[in-house]
Amino acid sequence: MSDSAHGGGGKADVAAAPAMPSSMTPSGIEIPQVATADMVQGDPGSPGEYPFTRGIFPNGYRGRLWTIRQYSGFGSAEETNQRYRFLLDRGQTGLSVALDLPTQCGYDPIDAMARPEVGKVGVSIATLADMETLFDGIDLAGISTSFTINGTAPMIYAMYLAAADKKGVPRESLTGTIQNDILKEYVARGTWIFPVRPSLRLIADSILFSNDATPRFNPISIAGAHVRDAGSTAVEEMGFTLANGLAYVDEMLRRGGDVNRFAKRLSFFFYVHMDFFEEICKFRAGRRVWAKLLHERYGVTDPKALMFRFGVVCGGSSLTAAQPYNNIVRVGIENMAAVFGGAQSIFTCAYDEAFQIPTEFSAETALRTQQVVAYESGISKTVDPLGGSYYVEYLTDQMDLEITKVIAEIEDYGGAEKAIEDGYLQSRIAKRALERKLQTDAGERVVVGQNHFRHEDEGASDFGEVFKLDEEAAGQTIERFNKVRATRDGAAVTQSLQRLSDAALRDDDNLIPYMIDCAHAHVSIGEMVGALKDHWGEFQEPVGL
C-alpha cells in the first residue's frame, strides 16, 4: 500500500472535526439522546412471522448464510469468464453479471452508437454465442446468477435459457435474478428503451413466463439502489421502490396473475450507505410495510408471498476518490448494517469501484470483507440481534411512518407510472442531489478524507494498482459477432424475428417464448430490440430540470 494513498507525513488536517454531530438522521428523523421504552410503539414480533419486522426466516442466517455476490463483468465474455472462475475459486457463492451499455440499451456492438462503449462498464452480450462463452465451464444448475439488466432483460433472460437448453440444464433448475425493473430506469439509471406501457407489458410477460418455466428464478428485482445513489434519502429510496413494486403488482393483476403466486418471486435491491442505524431500520421497516401492503390491500395470505426478500450493494456514492483505502472500512460498516437488516444477498464494492474496474486485488479484498463479517464477527449467529433495542425499534417505527408517507405522496400524484412519465420523481431526486452535494461541500455532512480530516499536502488519489482494460476485448467481441452473423441460418433468423414482431401486436400474447426461439436462432439483441421499436417507438425523456 503506497504511503501517498493516505496523504503522507504528519501535516495538520485542513479541516478537523465538525462542531456538533447532528441530532437528525440523513432522512431527517429526530435522534433521541437516549431512547427509552415509551418511544417504542409495540412488540416487534418474532422472526419468520408476519409482518416480518425481525426477518423473514425464523432461524435467520443459521439455516443459510446470505449469498456473497460480487458484481463483475468487463471487456469480452472470455475475460469476464476468467474473473468469474477467479471469484468462485475464492469462495464467492453467486454470480452477478455486469453488462456493457450497448447490451443494456439494446445496441449490437457494431452499431455506431455502441462502438465507443463496447465492453467498458460490463461485458458485451449480443448473441447466444457470447452467453455460452460467458458461462463456459460453469455449472448453471449449481450456481445462482444475477443479471443487472433492465431494458433488455427479457432478451438476456431468453439467451440465458437458450444457453441452459444447449448445455442440457433443465430450465426449472435455474436460480438467479434478472433486475428487470424498468420504472426506476426512467427515474435514475437511464437504460430505458421503450415507452412505459409496452415496457410494463414485457415485465409482466417475463414474470408470468418465469413463474411457470423457471419457478426458482426471480424475474424481477425491484431496485431502489440507483435512486438512492442518484441522491434520494433512505426513506425515499424505500418509499419510491415500494411504490414501484405496487405498480408492478397492479400490472400483474391486470394480466390475470395470481398475487399469492407471483408475489413469491418479487425481490428487491437497495444501497447501503453510511448511516448505520438508519440503514438497518430502513430494511426492518421496509419488510414490514411491504408485508402489510400486500396483506391489507391485496388480501395476500400465503406467508411466502408476503416475504420481502432483498439484495444489497454496499459502497457506491458513499465511497470517495480521496484516501481510497478508507473505503474498505466504509464497506465493512455497510456490510454489517446489511446483515443486521437481514439481507438475502450482499455485494460489497471494491475500494476503487466507484472510479475504475476493480483489480483482482481490490475485488478480493471486497470479498474477504464479507467473509470476515460472516465468519469472524459472530453477527449472523443469532436472528436480528438488535431486535428489542429501544433505539432500533423507535427508528424502525419512524422509518415505517415516513416510508408510508412517501408512498402516499406518489399515490396522491397519480401513482408511480404517472409520476415517472411526468418527470416528477426525476426532478425531485435531482434537487435532492444538489442539496446533498451542497451539504457535503459546506462540510455539514462529514466525509472523512474528503471534506474533513484531509492533509494539507495531500496529492492526487492513489488507488495502488490500476486496472487496464484489454484493448483487444472490443475487437474480439465484434469479431465473434460478425462470425455469428456470417454462419447462422438466415431463414431461421428471419422467421423467428417475424414471429416475435407479429406477437408484439397481440397484447395478450407472451413474448418470451418467441425471444427464446430468436436466441436459439442467434438473432442478436439489437435485432430483437429493433423489431419491437418498430412497433412501440422509444421513451421520450422529460428533460425539464
Partner 1 sequence: MSLAGKRFLIAKPGLDGHDVGAKVIALALRDAGAEIIYTGLRKAPDFIAKVAVEEDVDAVGLSILSGSHLELVAETVRQLRALDGGAIPLFVGGTIPTDDQAALKDAGVLGIFTADMKIDDVVAAIDAALS
Q: How far is the CB of 311 from partner 1 (least distance, A)?
A: 20
Minimum CB–partner distance for residue 419 and partner 1 (Å): 17
Cβ 183 to partner 1, closest distance in Å?
Answer: 14
Q: Give yes or no for a cis peptide into 18 (omega within 30° of 0).
A: no
Q: Which is nearer to partner 1, 81 or 150 (CB)?
A: 150
Q: Hey, how many other C-beta atoms are within 10 angstroms of the C-beta on 258?
A: 12
**Nearest distance from C-beta of residue 27 to partner 1, angstroms:** 18
Closest distance between partner 1 and the C-beta of residue 388, in Å?
A: 38
CB nearer partner 1, residue 121 or residue 446: 121
Q: What Cα–Cα distance (Å) separates residue 62 from each residue in 58, 260, 382, 545? A: 9, 27, 8, 48
Asked if 512 and 113 count as a contact pair (C-beta separation under 8 A), the reply is no
Least distance to partner 1 from the beta carbon of 352, Å?
11
Q: Which CB sits closer to partner 1, 48 or 475?
A: 475
What residues make contact with partner 1 under the rule CB under 8 A? 101-102, 104-105, 107, 112-117, 120-121, 185, 188-191, 229-231, 317, 320-322, 354-356, 429-431, 433-434, 437-438, 441, 450, 460-461, 466, 469, 541, 543, 545
Cis peptide before 215 (omega within 30 of 0): no
CA separation for the pair 430, 432 (Å, rounded)? 5
- Smallest gap from residue 192 Cβ to partner 1 (A): 8
The cell 501535516 sits on which residue?
11
Q: Quick one: 441 or 465, whose CB is closer to partner 1?
A: 441
Task: Name the residue nearer to partner 1 (CB basis): 15 or 408.
Answer: 15
Nearest to 23 by CA among 11, 31, 15: 31
DSSP category for residue 153: H
What are residue 455's phi and psi, to 5 degrees? Answer: -75, 150
Alpha carbon distances (Å) from 160 to 126, 220, 451, 522? 12, 15, 45, 12
Nearer to partner 1, 118 or 511 (CB): 118
Minimum distance, C-beta of residue 268 to partner 1, in the bound complex (Å): 20
Q: Is 345 helix (H, G, I), strand (E, B) or coil?
A: strand
Between residues 115 and 405, which has the closer beta carbon with respect to partner 1?
A: 115
DSSP, collapsed to helix, strand or coil, labels residue 355 as: coil
Residue 544: Cβ within 10 Å count? 9
C-beta of 103 vs 398, nearer to partner 1: 103
CB of 88 to partner 1, least distance (A): 26
By beta-carbon proximity to partner 1, the closer residue of 202 and 230 is 230
For residues 435 and 232, the answer to whether their CB atoms sit within 8 Å is no
262, 307 in Cβ contact below 8 A?
no
Query: Can you read off the three cell numbers belonging to residue 364?
Result: 478480493
Nearest alpha-carbon partner for 143 in 194, 192, 89: 89
